[in-house]
């Protein structure tokens, strides 16, 4: 019995070591569409973001992640990209270590760490938001400490330091291979930043940071970040920023639904700022628990028993998915200025099978927990090493398997369209009218050869070239991609050389005109105005790239007239259209080898149609002639 008990115990340990995702019951699958999304933002796709700032330290601590295809270990960046994430956010601290190089923890997010995260994100086509805290450790509404190296600076000197630090850091991160799309100047700066607590002084420092971003690359979006839209302070923050002429692009908020009010209020607050000051808005941080359990033996920041918290969703995988979806919907409801959301630390888990002692050793050695004991010299709220207090809010379970809530990203539209063979079509060559599904206008061209959309229908000659297609005007000029633009869009004009397109069919019976599997013909910025130019860029599941084809007439295929074999009269060996004694004589000569017959003559001489010409055919021919007399 003891032996059996030991065996069962061993089996249970083996089973607990390999955990398939605990989310079989999750069924929440609502989609969110950002209508008329601004094409100048992120190539026309809403920001589907994830802040995984702690990931390098986690991997160094032995944390692994698995895909949900074959449940094998996989690169976290690949997993996120495969689920629809298109943006990675990374926090940056000035010097998150003591003078001896001992890490403060929290992911040890210095510039070098940001370089590595940005490089790996770009390998899977994800852009990077660089989140400068302008502190050596955590900066949030409770603390905004000045970096140690700037401790004795005046506010003006801090502004100058922010400018040069931002400029130099961005250059280093880009040189590492990151695709920087946004830069955040300060983190959760609710009236405090870099040790300063006067909003007008803070605005000067924000301007310095924004100027650095502008001077580095004016195409990068400049983000300012605040926390708690339910505080009632956002209108004042935005008013002061406007008074101080801070040249930012995006007003971002943290929104943790158990602390920060309803999603309706979130929409209302963000829409007010977007409409009043013509700024883009987004959620820079959000999260929600899927369980009350603790995965790394370090207390969680939130659970169903937490005081001062309001839970509007179930604490479950479904509840987490519904909450995250509603956050996207709240931003989409703002209108064209709402651009997306980031989930905060969706992969910050520990090693579930490690002991408390083992976990503490890894937090201290690799800085993978929220803090190490070394951080106590910089922050009075740190006494010893700690782990992740957000592992019950991750989008992966404690063993690193994706939860169904990670699939929320894949249901946020519009998205990049990737060509599938199943979408291919076969169209007959002919004359077609091509209408933009979004605007209702027709694909046309102006007197300068620019491809535009117009109210009046224009006929295009679509020619099927063995599976690819060309489009030609009645004047025999082709619709052609003529040049690359710095913004990633291409000019589309009439030209003399044929441009071949693949045509993909959508489920709603509209069509995409593509030159490869990721780019297609489009109307500039999704315009609904007549005269708007056509461009060529990232293929999206978007109406302004979807065209309706109306076939006016199919090409008439000219074919050679069918040549029918000439019919000859049986017995007319001479082929002179008469049967007489000359035919008898010719056949006789043939039989005695004094004449030859062509194949056609031999067919006429084969009177009994047995395939052989002999004396019997000669006799039958004679009978036929004499019977006619």
> Mind listing the pLDDT tens digit for each residue in 410-436?
999 999 887 777 788 889 999 999 999
Task: Specify the higher pLDDT residue, 324 or 619.
Answer: 324
Render pLDDT for 104-113 as a digit per residue (tens, 0 to 9).
999 999 999 9
Q: What is the pLDDT of residues 318-353, one digit of tens each?
A: 999 999 999 999 999 999 999 999 999 999 999 888
In degrees and rounded to multiples of 5, residue 315 shows phi and psi of: -90, 90
Q: How high is the mean pLDDT of the chain?
A: 89
Identify the residue with better confidence: 69 or 158: 158
What local confidence, expressed as pLDDT, does residue 143 receive? 95
**pLDDT of 609 strictly over 50:** yes
Confidence of residue 627 (pLDDT cuts 50, 70, 90): low
How many CB atoms are located within 10 Å of the residue 139 CB?
24
What confidence score (pLDDT) does residue 204 get? Answer: 98
Portion of the chain with pLDDT greater than 70, in percent: 92
Summarize pLDDT for 491-515 with one digit per residue, the tens: 899 999 999 999 998 877 889 998 8
- pLDDT, position 507: 74
pLDDT at 560: 61
> Band of the pLDDT at 581, cuts 50, 70, 90?
confident
Q: What percent of the chain has pLDDT over 90?
A: 67
Summarised one tens digit per residue, pLDDT across range 264-322 is 999 999 999 999 999 999 999 999 999 999 988 888 899 999 999 999 999 999 999 99
Confidence of residue 2 (pLDDT cuts 50, 70, 90): very low
Superfamily per CATH, domain 27-413? Glycosidases (3.20.20.80)
Report pLDDT for 571.
Answer: 78
Place of tokens 């690819």: 468
- The yes-or-no verdict on residue 483 having pLDDT over 80 is no
pTM of the model as a whole: 0.81
Q: Which residues are annotated as catalytic?
A: 188, 285
Q: How confident is the model at residue 561 (pLDDT cuts 50, 70, 90)?
A: low
What beta strand segments (E) does 411-501 contain? Answer: 412-413, 430-436, 442-445, 451-454, 459-465, 468-472, 478-484, 490-495
pLDDT at 467 over 90: no
**pLDDT number for residue 34:** 95
- Report the candidate in 497, 437, 447 with the shortest Cα–Cα distance to residue 472: 497
Higher pLDDT, 14 or 369: 369
- The winner for highest mean pLDDT among 8-12, 232-236, 377-381, 507-511 is 232-236
Question: What number of other Cβ atoms are within 10 A of residue 551's Cβ?
Answer: 13
User: Using 50, 70 and 90 to split pLDDT, how confident is the model at 4?
Assistant: very low
pLDDT in tens, 72-94: 999 999 999 999 999 999 999 99
Instruction: Of 366-370, 468-472, 480-484, give the lowest mean pLDDT range.
Output: 480-484
pLDDT score recorded for residue 519: 87
Contacts of 444 (CB under 8 A, 6+ apart): 451, 452, 453, 454, 456, 458
Closest CA to 369 of 91, 144, 108: 108
Indicate whether 127 pLDDT > 70. Answer: yes
Tokens of 353: 């099978």
pLDDT for residue 563 = 59
Provide CB contacts within 8 A for 337, sequence distance 6+: 38, 271, 274, 275, 278, 279, 280, 281
Per-residue pLDDT at 40 exceeds 60: yes
Q: Are 410 and 85 in contact (CB under 8 A)?
A: no
Q: Spell out the domain ranges in the chain.
A: 27-413, 421-554, 581-627
pLDDT in tens, 148-169: 999 999 999 999 999 999 999 9
What is the band of 16 on the pLDDT scale with cuts at 50, 70, 90?
very low
213 closest CA partner among 181, 183, 188: 183
Query: Does 2.80.10.50 match the CATH number of domain 421-554?
Result: yes
- Predicted confidence band of residue 567 (pLDDT cuts 50, 70, 90): low
Tell me the per-residue pLDDT of 526-538, one tens digit each, with 9 for 90 and over.
Answer: 888 999 999 888 8
């Amino acid at each position: 019995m003891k032996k059996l008990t030991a065996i069962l115990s061993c089996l249970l340990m083996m089973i607990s070591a390999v955990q398939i995702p605990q989310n079989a019951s999750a069924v929440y699958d609502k989609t969110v569409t950002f209508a008329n999304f601004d094409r100048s933002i992120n190539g026309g796709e809403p920001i589907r973001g994830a802040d995984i700032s702690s990931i390098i330290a986690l991997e160094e601590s032995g944390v692994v992640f698995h895909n949900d295809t074959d449940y094998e270990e996989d690169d976290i960046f690949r997993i996120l990209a495969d689920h629809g994430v298109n943006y990675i956010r990374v926090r940056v601290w000035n010097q998150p270590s003591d003078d001896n190089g001992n890490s403060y923890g929290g992911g040890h997010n210095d510039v070098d760490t940001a370089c590595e995260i940005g490089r790996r994100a770009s390998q899977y086509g994800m852009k990077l938001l660089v989140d400068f805290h302008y502190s050596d450790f955590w900066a949030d509404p409770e603390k905004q400490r000045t970096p140690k190296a700037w401790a004795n600076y005046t506010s003006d000197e801090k502004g100058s330091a922010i400018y040069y630090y931002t400029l130099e850091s961005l250059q280093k991160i880009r040189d590492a291979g990151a695709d920087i799309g946004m830069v955040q100047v300060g983190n959760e700066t609710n009236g405090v930043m870099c040790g300063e607590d006067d909003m007008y002084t803070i605005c000067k420092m924000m301007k310095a940071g924004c100027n650095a971003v502008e001077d580095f690359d004016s195409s990068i979006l400049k983000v300012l970040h605040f926390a708690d839209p339910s505080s009632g302070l956002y209108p004042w923050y935005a008013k002061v920023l406007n008074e101080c002429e801070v040249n930012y692009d995006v007003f971002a908020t943290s929104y943790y639904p158990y602390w920060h009010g309803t999603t309706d209020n979130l929409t209302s607050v963000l829409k007010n700022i977007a409409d009043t000051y013509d700024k883009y808005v987004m959620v820079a941080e959000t999260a929600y628990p899927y369980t009350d359990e603790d995965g790394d033996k370090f207390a969680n920041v939130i659970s169903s028993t937490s005081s001062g918290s309001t839970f509007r969703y179930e604490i479950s995988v479904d509840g987490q998915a519904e909450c995250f979806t509603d956050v996207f919907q709240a931003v989409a409801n703002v209108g064209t200025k709402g651009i997306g959301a980031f989930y905060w630390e969706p992969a910050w888990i520990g090693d579930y099978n490690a002991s408390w002692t083992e976990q503490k050793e890894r937090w201290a050695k690799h800085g993978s927990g929220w803090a190490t004991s070394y951080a106590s010299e910089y922050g009075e709220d740190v006494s010893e090493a700690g782990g992740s207090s957000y592992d019950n809010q991750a989008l992966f379970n404690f063993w690193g398997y994706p939860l169904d809530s990670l699939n929320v990203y894949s249901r946020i539209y519009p998205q990049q369209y990737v060509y599938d063979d199943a979408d291919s079509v076969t169209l007959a060559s002919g004359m077609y009218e091509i209408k933009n599904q979004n605007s209702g206008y027709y694909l046309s061209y102006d007197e300068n050869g620019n491809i535009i959309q117009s109210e009046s229908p224009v006929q295009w000659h679509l020619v099927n070239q063995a599976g690819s297609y060309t489009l030609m005007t009645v004047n025999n000029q082709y619709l052609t991609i003529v040049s690359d633009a710095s913004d990633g869009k291409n000019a589309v004009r009439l030209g003399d050389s044929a441009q071949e397109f693949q045509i993909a069919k959508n489920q709603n019976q509209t069509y995409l005109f593509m030159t490869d599997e990721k780019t297609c013909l489009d109307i500039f910025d999704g315009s609904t105005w007549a005269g708007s130019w056509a461009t060529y860029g990232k293929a999206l599941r978007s109406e302004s790239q979807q065209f309706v084809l109306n076939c006016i007439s199919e090409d008439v295929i000219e074919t050679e007239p069918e040549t029918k074999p000439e019919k000859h009269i049986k017995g007319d060996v001479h082929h002179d259209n008469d049967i007489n004694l000359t035919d008898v004589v010719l056949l006789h000569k043939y039989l005695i080898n004094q004449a030859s017959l062509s194949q056609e003559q031999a067919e006429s001489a084969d009177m009994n149609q047995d395939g052989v010409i002999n004396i019997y055919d000669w006799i039958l021919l004679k009978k036929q002639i004499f019977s006619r007399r």
